Amino acid sequence: MRILLIVLLFIFISPIKAEEIISSDEILIQTENKQASFPGGKEALKKWLRENTNYPEDAKRYGTILVTFTVKRNGKLDDFAVKKGVSEFLDYAAVQILKGMPKWEPALKNGKAVDAEAQVSVRFTPQNQE
């Protein structure tokens, strides 16, 4: 009887590991954060840009325009701004093209959709140089 009492006392006094006293209901599941993205990913965005970007006939220059914008938590796009432009004409054309994009998948922070900034480059080349 004494031995049983000593064994039981030893079991209760010995250090208990934290995971032994935490139930599965109390464990927080860490969710990944993720950047906003075009539906289908980068390859789908490249395809969409190829299909929707044409060199404007009135343009006398060509080049790459870098445009930033906000992807809202509902996936809609807003607040377009030219970060690196070529000419006023082509900069405007690039923004108009990007405004025609479908809704994006919003950024996630701690598992919740949040507004986030994104950027896309629009490349204009003359039709005969593609």
pLDDT in tens, 88-120: 989 999 999 999 999 999 999 988 999 999 999
Prediction pTM value: 0.71
Query: Scanning the structure block, which residue is given the tokens 């938590």?
Result: 73
Structure confidence at residue 1 as a pLDDT band (50, 70, 90)? low
Alpha-carbon torsion, ordered 59, 65, 71, 77, to 10 deg:
0
Domain hosting residue 77, numbered range: 34-129
Cα 69 from Cα 83, distance rounded (Å): 10
Q: Can you tell me the mean pLDDT for 36-65?
A: 89
Number of domains in the chain: 1
Closest CA to 103 of 68, 69, 82, 74: 74
Residue 16 lies in a domain: no
CATH of the domain at 103: 3.30.1150
